[in-house]
Structure 1
Amino acid sequence: MDTSLADLRRLDVPALVRRHACDARRVERILAGARVALCSVCVVTAWIGTRVVAGRPLPVRSVLAAYGLESIGVAILVARDIRLARRLPLVLHAIDFLAAFAITFVTAGLASPFFPLFLFVTLAAAYRWRSNETLTTGTAALAAIGIEASWLAPTGFDAEGFLLGGTYIAVAAVLLGFLAEDEKQRRAEVTTAGDLLAAIQGQTGFRPALRLVCGELLDILDAHHIVIAAREIDAERVVLWTAARGPHPHPVVLTSSEISYESQDTYFWDAPGDGWSIFRRRGAACVVTPIDRDGRVLRKAPCTVDPAFWMRHPAAAALGISIGFGGEWRGRVFLLRERPFSLQELRFAHRVLCSLVPAMHSQYLVRRLRSEASAAERRRVARELHDGVIQTLIGLELQVAALRRQTGARDPHVDAQLHLMQRILGDEARAVRDVMHQIRPVELGPRELVPAMAEIVDRFGRETGITAAFHADAEVVPLAPGIARELVRTLQEALTNVRKHAAARRVDVRLAEEHDAWRLTIGNDGRPLTFAGRLTLEELDAGRIGPRVIKERVREMGATMAIESSPGRGVTIDIALPRQKRERRSA
């Protein structure tokens, strides 16, 4: 029963599998072969057995002949490589049921040797569909044999025959329905996991793969948010990923941030088992249904969910799965929505996520290896620039300075040319040094961002002679490493622009902590830009003005920006990076 990702847009588990046309054709071919074999035995029995057709040879043989011809016609039809009508299985199922009823009705009813035809119909329902359809078929068969027990019994209702035959049908329907439900559910899980694994392998990195998985789980389980808390054990680091449905053409908005290790109890509370279906009642009270790693339900456990979890992620119900990434990371995945998660959905999510974790861990390792390789190459290039190009430019600058002292005083024209050459060499050395600092890898945690920015501003002042000051409202800034890196690169780019173009005497940099944003302000008293006033990022883009690289980095961070430019007061760049909801509450 193959499925595609598009077939699993919601996990109404009894209707999880929507069979492809090729799969339906395969099922009908198997049932057609079984139907032809069964009809052949019935026809032979009717023609050679006089007891079977006693009293009604013509009706019995006519019904069996018609059913046999129908079976052969269906077998020929499904054997051809053509697209079958969508309702054909239901039509064939109805014909099989009516044929079973008609044949048993004209051949002694409950005592008919053709009574197993009802079992074939029940088996066909289980093979085609799931438990609901199988139980419905069993109920219809019970009604049919009830009619036969009332109509054909010579002394009234045949209670003994109905009880015996009904028990056969009921037991077969229940067992076959259960087996069909379990088999198709497990096959759906395997197929879903397989499709997701194939899709993950086709992604170019960890973040796109995670966005893909989150998007599919949001659709399949009809959730509005996914929260992934990952804890790096050795480094005492907790990373939080949040996924939600976004506007077209961005179906999933994926954000990440780091939280303090002390706040991990909000997501890693003590709870039995490996998966939990949590339904929130009034206030912080909730009901928890835990399962172990094999999907078995554990005894009812008390609700130990941290109330801060509901404050940070409002929802009426949550589905939680415990996962592990090798020996370094431990995590929990939470899916949130407004109606309770069923036990089947919990088991489905647990099995699928456990299947996907190794592939996601591989993507993470590949990303880390690429990052480490890239960082090593960046460090090598930075060393080469420092030990090679920069030292050569500084050496040439010193030689020109010495030559200027020797010959410049005798010829003012030569002195001016040497001075120009000395200034160009110094500018180029500083420009290469800027490039060196920008390509050098920067790994920043919440406690490293402020010292790194302070060091950049201090180095800028030393190298340029411009008075530079840095102020920060907080020592710990809980931004994701990628966002922190972009913020540092933005500061470096802004200071490079000041050195090259502003002719400023003073630069002030401030990282402010506000209720809903982190605000980076970079101001200088140099030359203004080509406009006067305060323009937002959208207005800068509309006018095609402003520093292009800084605008690109601001968009990458998901931040907002405004630039204020005025003669005599210089230029001020104001960048606001929205804080996560959990940071706002803790602030």
Structure 2
Amino acid sequence: MRSDLSRTFWWDVYLVVITAAVAVVILASDGPSRTARLVATGAIAGILVLHFVAGRRAIEREEPRPVLLAAELALFGLAVTLVPNANWLLFGVNPLIFQMVPLRTAVIAVLATNAVLPISDAFLRPDAVAGDLVVALISSAAGIWLGTWIVRVVRQSQERHRLIEELESSRAEVARLSREAGVTAERARLAGEIHDTLAQGFTSIITLLQAPEPDVALAVRTARENLAEARSLVAALSPAELTAGSLTSAVRRQVSRFTEESGVAAALRITGDERPLPTAVEVVLLRAAQEALTNVRRHAHAREAAVLLAYTGESVRLVVRDDGCGFVPGEADGYGLAGMRERAKQVRGSVTVRSDPDTGTTVEVEVPA
């Protein structure tokens, strides 16, 4: 919009300068009478008045105004008929034509406007017809070329403006979709957090209290841990176990808790040089250990389980094995394994599940770190 206003402003300045210069030329002419010169000057002043009263607004709004243009050209024809030197106003009139009517109409109007002087010469100044006709032909060709170029530039400017608007619209749509995708991803992440912490904790409490010999003390401890997880989710969405220690100690507590709750022997082995990891990576590995051990307790009917946490130079690998009944990977995948895969994907990790009735199940999570 600002560029359009600037273009209109400079065109107004150009038209005023041309009109003023031609008015000076008309008033200084020797041949025509004083009355003819004054009428011609008034005619070109009328062109300027019509432009600022209505023509300028039509150009800004890109509204074709053939009637208004016809009135301006009639004034031009009057001025040229009375004072031939008014023909210099073609420098302003030709571009004006192309701004006010469509291209085909503008070409016809330019030819007609340039023909005014030769035609008036044929009646009033026969000896000047030949010379003014040559000038009219040159002026027509130059005017049509210049006007066509102006129209092409304006169309290109309009096309760029349209493309910019489409780009801004597309950018806004991408931003909106990105926000929606972010919200969806965050909801999925929170769902995974709740499933891997609170839901599993409540399941453990119910299991402990419904046992033939309820372990109330362990159930109370589990409830307290669940409460800590809930507070952690609300406060920072980071596992409470990780805020209280390292990943290794958090996984070790999970293994010990698994053995206490299920009665299944389990051992943790650490290989490689333990090192601090990004919080997101630690959360993925800890939740994977929780989910895998929960699945062993619920479904495997295993006699023993083993957990490996292996640090290498480029990655960290968590492996949970059991000697239970196994399942068919892909057919029995529940929300837990799907959430595990989604978590791993968020940190460019991978999840591999191998299961067989004879050898049990192995869940392996590897994360670059």
TM-score, normalised with respect to structure 1: 0.32
| Higher strand content, 1 or 2 | 1
Max radius of gyration: which structure? 2
TM-score, normalised with respect to structure 2: 0.48
